[in-house]
Amino acid sequence: MDSYRLPGHALTGASTGTGEVPDVLIVGDSLFRHFRLGAGGSFPIAFRSDTRPSANIYATGFQRKRLVVDWLDTEYTDGATTKKRLDEARAHIAASVTGAMKGKSAAEVGAEIGRVTDELERRSVALRVGNVDLDVETAVCATLDLPIAGLFPFDPKALAASFAKPTSIYVVRMQHWLETYKVQRYCAPHLAYSREVASLGIPATDVLGRLTVEREYVSATNSVRVRVTAAEVNTATDGEAIVRAVAAEHATPVTVAIPAQKDTSSAVDVDEKVGHIRTALTQLTGNADKTRLIRDSNEITGGSTPKELPDYKPTEKARGRGFSQ
């Protein structure tokens, strides 16, 4: 029980407004990679763009805007009946765990339901099925590609003016992540360019420093020249050598294309896509046990990362419905 699908509904109620909510997968912490240091190992490094003062970031780190349990605590209407998505999710978890643990005692089943419910409500992120992209309020996202981080923020209606302003990129140490970009490479290649990874939060002790990044828009190629012009170290950490090395590596301008994204959320075979996303998640962690959440099975020593997932080849049925090619 490592993820579950929550079908889309029409929302209602004063706290939510009206409209449609997309189909999502709630992905639990057991499907994240958890890194621990082996002999001579180091935690993976990622990058996150943020224009807030560095003193604020060094004090708080990067935290999620809301937990999945809060995201689920909304009402939807099903015909004439108003229901709570959170109640539906809890009932789904209880039924799934009970079915998977036939023959176990009531106490064992109850304990497992409580543990899985806690993980999937609090230690989890929401992944939108349609375009295989995260609900950003439920996760802290970063990228493994510094020049990509250098694109943000920008105003798509005023490219030259917005890219004329420098931005700040924070160098962060990752002790766990969900390899979002690998799932996207498998199921939605148009989004995988960002090499995005997601976490449940990055503590201040893992924010190693800030880089000042100069940008220049090139209209002829709809691209941006990016380079690091200055580095600031978070002196409360031991990351000075890493920050200085990253700054030196990216001091020469590189050209980054502004990606053209497309949203296939309304033109997919949702049931088929859910299956492929779950396959990708299982391949990333090797955690095929659906009845127990054993974090140790996902830990990697020495900062090593697993090989890439194979390219996804959509079926004829999926291609006909607009599935990512």
Residue 113: pLDDT above 50? yes
| DSSP structure class, residue 311 | P
Q: State which of 28-42, 104-118, 211-225 shows the largest mean pLDDT.
A: 211-225
pLDDT recorded at residue 190? 77
pLDDT recorded at residue 12? 46
Lowest mean pLDDT among 35-49, 116-130, 171-185, 263-277: 263-277
Average pLDDT (201-220) is 97
**Which residue's structure tokens are 């407004």?**
17
Residue 146: pLDDT above 50? yes
224 near 215, Cβ under 8 Å?
Answer: yes
Q: Convert the pLDDT of each residue in 248-282 to its tens digit.
A: 999 999 999 988 655 554 445 777 788 888 888 87
- Sequence-separated (6 or more) residues with CB below 8 Å from residue 227: 213, 214, 250, 251, 252, 253, 254
Residue 150: pLDDT above 50? yes
Structure pTM? 0.83
pLDDT recorded at residue 261? 58
3-state secondary structure of 319: helix
Cα–Cα distance measured from residue 277 to residue 113, given in angstroms and rounded to the nearest whole number? 23
Average pLDDT, the chain: 81
CA distances from 319 to 103, 120, 273, 277 (A): 43, 32, 12, 16
pLDDT recorded at residue 80? 76
Percentage of residues in the chain with pLDDT exceeding 70?
A: 77
Q: Convert the pLDDT of each residue in 39-96 to its tens digit.
A: 566 788 999 999 999 999 999 999 999 998 888 888 877 777 888 888 888 888 898 8
